[in-house]
């Protein structure tokens, strides 16, 4: 089976009603990212950060996958597909994609502030000051904040470097190290970039830019890729 790696950003969830980051004037749901998405914000005001992510989690649970997420899941009938997402929502999983790598963490999980290896599923949508790990320390959202390491970059780079087809969807490619992934796909691989505001990317061979919303473009692209495949 040919290998497809799909690298997604906030744009793929926009049509499910989840706002992107850089389309809203530098603010994320009315907050400066420094106040809610950094380790310093957590040290200063863990209750504010917890409430902020509770709201994001609630919004995620009220959202459903859109045609873009659903189309990508269909690719698995003829390809070995890995989704590498910068998104913290679970819409790819709920659409049926079976291999999803979250570079920036997952809203549906929490982790211990005493031992980062202790990761838990969040029951419902709410964490509180009383949500504790088994060691008795406070639980934080399982999110990679600005200034923190991105451990899932290592498997993401390995998978991208052997992809036959690489599809970029709905990302401004402004946040590193994640954005650097686009340079890791093999030269000869077939590449697509689906985003209504896609800028061209220099030094990348075989790149087809599709300036269209993913809910419209991905069902078409997936149909094309399925008809091309011989398995
Ligand atoms: N379909 C496809 N793309 C869309 C759509 C749509 N319907 N609507 C908007 N977009 C595109 C925008 O044109 C933009 O290029 O989605 C992109 C969203 O870009 P950003 O808001 O910068 O989101 P992203 O690239 O995912 O941000 C990366 O930054 O804030 C951090 O950790 C956060 O994971 C996030 C990272």
In whole angstroms, what is the distance from residue 94 CA to residue 210 CA? 25
Would you tell me how many other CB atoms lie within 10 Å of the CB of residue 182? 18
The tens digit of pLDDT for each residue in 137-166 reads: 999 999 999 999 999 999 999 999 999 999
Do residues 83 and 102 touch, judged by C-beta distance below 8 A?
no
User: What is the rounded average pLDDT of the residues 110-132?
Assistant: 96
Cα 22 to ligand 1 centre (Å): 7
Would you tell me how many other CB atoms lie within 10 Å of the CB of residue 192? 21
Q: Is 197 in the pocket of ligand 1 (CB under 6 A)?
A: yes
**Architecture of the domain made up of 19-62+107-143:** 2-Layer Sandwich (3.30)
- Domain ranges in the chain are 1-18+66-104+150-231, 19-62+107-143
69 is catalytic: no
Specify the ligand 1 atom closest to the Cα of 20. Answer: 21
Q: What percent of the chain has pLDDT over 90?
A: 90
- Give the lowest-confidence range in 18-32, 156-170, 173-187: 18-32
**Tokens of residue 186, six digits:** 């093999």
Gyration radius of the chain over CA positions: 18
**Tokens of residue 7, six digits:** 């690298």
Number of C-alpha atoms within 13 angstroms, CB side, residue 121?
3
pLDDT band at residue 27, thresholds of 50, 70 and 90?
A: low
Do residues 19 and 87 touch, judged by C-beta distance below 8 A?
no
Ligand 1 pocket test target in 7, 13, 20 with most atoms within 8 Å of CB: 20
Cα 24 to ligand 1 centre (Å): 10
**Architecture of the domain made up of 1-18+66-104+150-231:** 3-Layer(aba) Sandwich (3.40)
Mean of per-residue pLDDT scores for the chain: 95
User: What is the rounded average pLDDT of the residues 17-28?
Assistant: 76
CA 152-153-155 angle, to 5 degrees, is 70
Give Cα separations from 87 to 60, 102, 132, 139, 176 (angstroms): 11, 7, 25, 21, 14
H-helix or E-strand spanning residue 166: strand 165-169
**Tokens of residue 217, six digits:** 């473009």
Q: pTM above the 0.85 mark?
A: yes
Indicate if the pLDDT at residue 23 is higher than 80: no
* DSSP code of residue 124: S
Helix (H, G, I), strand (E, B) or coil at 109: strand
Specify the ligand 1 atom closest to the Cα of 214. Answer: 1
Cα 86 to ligand 1 centre (Å): 9
Which value, to the nearest 10 degrees, does the dihedral of the CA atoms of residues 155, 178, 209, 20 take? 120
Q: Is 29 in the pocket of ligand 1 (CB under 6 A)?
A: no
DSSP 31-99: EEHHHHSSHHHHHH-HHHHHHHHHHHHHHHHH----HHHHHHHHGGGTSEEEEEE---S-HHHHHT-S-
Do residues 76 and 151 touch, judged by C-beta distance below 8 A?
no
**Residues 69, 102, 104, 142: which is the catalytic one?**
104
The backbone torsions φ and ψ at residue 111, rounded to the nearest 5 degrees and listed phi first, read -145, 160
In whole angstroms, what is the distance from residue 128 CA to residue 52 CA? 11
């Amino acid at each position: 089976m040919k290998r497809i790696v799909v690298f997604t950003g906030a744009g793929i969830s926009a049509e499910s009603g989840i706002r992107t980051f850089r389309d809203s004037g530098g603010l994320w749901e009315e907050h400066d990212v420094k106040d809610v998405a950094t380790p310093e914000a957590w040290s200063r005001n863990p209750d504010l950060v917890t409430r902020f992510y509770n709201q994001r989690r609630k919004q995620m649970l009220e959202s459903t996958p859109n045609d873009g997420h659903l189309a990508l899941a269909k690719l698995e009938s003829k390809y070995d597909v890995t989704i590498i997402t910068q998104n913290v929502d679970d819409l790819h999983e709920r659409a049926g994609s079976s291999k999803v790598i979250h570079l920036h963490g997952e809203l549906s999980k929490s982790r211990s502030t005493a031992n980062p290896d202790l990761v838990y599923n969040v029951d419902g949508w709410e964490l509180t000051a009383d949500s504790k790990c088994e060691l008795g320390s406070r639980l934080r959202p399982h999110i990679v904040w600005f200034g923190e390491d991105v451990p899932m970059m290592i498997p993401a780079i390995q998978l991208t470097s052997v992809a036959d087809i690489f599809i970029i969807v709905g990302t401004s490619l402004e946040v590193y190290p994640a954005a650097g992934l686009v340079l890791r796909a093999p030269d000869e691989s077939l590449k697509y970039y689906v985003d209504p505001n896609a800028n061209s990317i220099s030094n990348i061979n075989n790149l087809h830019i599709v300036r269209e919303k993913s809910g419209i473009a991905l069902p078409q692209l997936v149909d094309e890729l399925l008809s091309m495949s011989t398995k």
